[in-house]
Amino acid sequence: MLAFARRRNLLAAGGVAGFILMVSIAAAQQAAPLPPGSPLIGRPENNPAAAKLAPVAPPPIPTAPDMLPTAKLKLPEGFKLEVWASGIPNARTMRLGDKGTIFVGGRFAGKVFAVVDNNGKREVKTIAEGLHRPNGLALHNGTLYIAELAKISKIDNIEANLDNPPKPVVIYDDLPKDEAHGWKYLGVGPDNKLYFQVGAPCNICMPSEAHAQIRRINLDGSGMEVVARGIRQVVGFDWHPVSKQLYFSENSRDWLSEDIPEDKLNRVTQPGKDNFGFPFCHQGNVADDQFGWGRSCDEFTKPLALMGPHSAVLGMRFYTGNMFPAEYRGAIFLARHGSWNRSQKIGGDVVVVKLNADGTVKSVAPFITGFLENNNYLGRPVDVQVLKDGSMLVSDDYNGAIYRITYGR
């Protein structure tokens, strides 16, 4: 892991000189818009710094505990961040069991992990393996539900069987098998149904009837209904603790430009009817350069908030704990994984979204920053999970680690 860290530093150092030039080129491009589909959109050619704007793949091997970037992470006054667990390859989605076990899924390891606390020391157990992108996890009445790319399965009474878990039993597999945006997010709603998305199988295209939507099914896999349509990709959602409405983060398309469209925070107010606009309309007010002709953004449900271009909004939870100050109660903590399709990276942070009484957005503010340094990632936050004591975990798939945030005391 030393080598990874060193290389990143080297890239950061080498990239600075060229980077200034690159930004000015990017600015020039924005001043005179390029024709749609131009290969120059977003990327100056023959520029050494620009070569580092490619998608960022997390190293397959987790970062050693002493190399984690915790010292560089910043939080508001009174909050403290510590490493809670490390050595979990591609740690992404987190779910909390009734007995305090944290279940961890992801896209690259093919495994689901259980992290248990043994007198203050965390032990990581593999509870399922050989899975295909098990990014979606949900827990309900002791049962663990796992969403792989093209099937959903379950393990009953999981916390009593962590050392010898039975194989997952498939409950639903009527799903497209596309790799593109095929990984799932999964949750159990207040109606005791399993919710998950089927993303668009592309950056931008006309999706089939089976794509670009949020679905729900009964806990046995029956009774599929489409909850909302016109959604490019979702990797995080939660239900408002009072109104019980579904809020979700949505990643918008790439390659239109550096600054447009922005990713979104959405709310479903009319289950079964809401359409969020993909591929016709982006960020609620920009018609697509190809699919938007003859359509209007007014046909579609508007976003609650714009969350930054290419910022990759992922996991989110309403804060219902008691440890953090009162101003955070009922707010949404949301992880922004960070951009790749942009010269100057943005995101790589956890933001706090405060809401009005009617459930609309009052403010969006940074909560944890410092994952992004000199246009390089030191880590990338993916999901948040509030614990019973009101502290909060944040997963980092770049380092294969989980951090815990506490307040005061």
Partner 1 sequence: MAAEAKRNTIDIGGGGDRPRLFLALGVIAVCALVAGAAAAIEEKVAPCYTCHGEQGVSPTPEMPSIAGQPAYFLLIELFQFRERQRDIPAMNEAVKGLSNDEIKAMADYLARLAPPKPPVDSADRARVERGRALVAVHRCGFCHNPDFSGGEQMPRLAGQREDYLRKALRDYKSGARPGYDPMMAIVLYPVSETDIDDLAHFLAHLAASDRR
- The contact set with partner 1 (CB under 8 A) reads 3, 37, 39, 42-43, 45-46, 51-55, 57, 59-61, 108-110, 130, 132-133, 177-183, 201-203, 205, 255
Cβ atoms of 219 and 140 within 8 Å: the answer is yes
Q: CA–CA separation, 51 vs 259, rounded Å?
A: 19
- DSSP string of 337-394? ---SSSSS----EEEEEEE-TTS-EEEEEEEEB-SEETTEES--EEEEEE-TTS-EEE
Q: CA–CA separation, 81 vs 73, rounded Å?
A: 8
Q: How far is the CB of 184 from partner 1 (least distance, A)?
A: 13
Q: How far is the CB of 345 from partner 1 (least distance, A)?
A: 15
Which residue, 108 or 240, has its beta carbon nearer to partner 1? 108
DSSP state of 256: S
Q: How far is the CB of 290 from partner 1 (least distance, A)?
A: 11
Which residue, 29 or 101, has its beta carbon nearer to partner 1? 29
Which residue, 106 or 189, has its beta carbon nearer to partner 1? 106
Amino acid present at 283: Q
Q: Which one, of 392, 402, 304, 397, lies nearest residue 76 by Cα?
A: 392
Which residue, 39 or 294, has its beta carbon nearer to partner 1? 39
End-to-end alpha carbon distance in the chain: 34
Q: How far is the CB of 93 from partner 1 (least distance, A)?
A: 17
Cβ atoms of 2 and 67 within 8 Å: the answer is yes
Q: How far is the CB of 319 from partner 1 (least distance, A)?
A: 31
Q: How far is the CB of 167 from partner 1 (least distance, A)?
A: 16
Which residue, 148 or 238, has its beta carbon nearer to partner 1? 148
> Taking CA 38 as the corner, what is the angle to CA 35 and CA 39, rounded to the nearest 5 degrees?
165
Q: CA–CA separation, 317 vs 392, rounded Å?
A: 10
Q: How far is the CB of 203 from partner 1 (least distance, A)?
A: 5
Q: CA–CA separation, 63 vs 353, rounded Å?
A: 30
Which residue, 173 or 225, has its beta carbon nearer to partner 1? 173
**261: preceding bond cis by omega (within 30 degrees):** yes
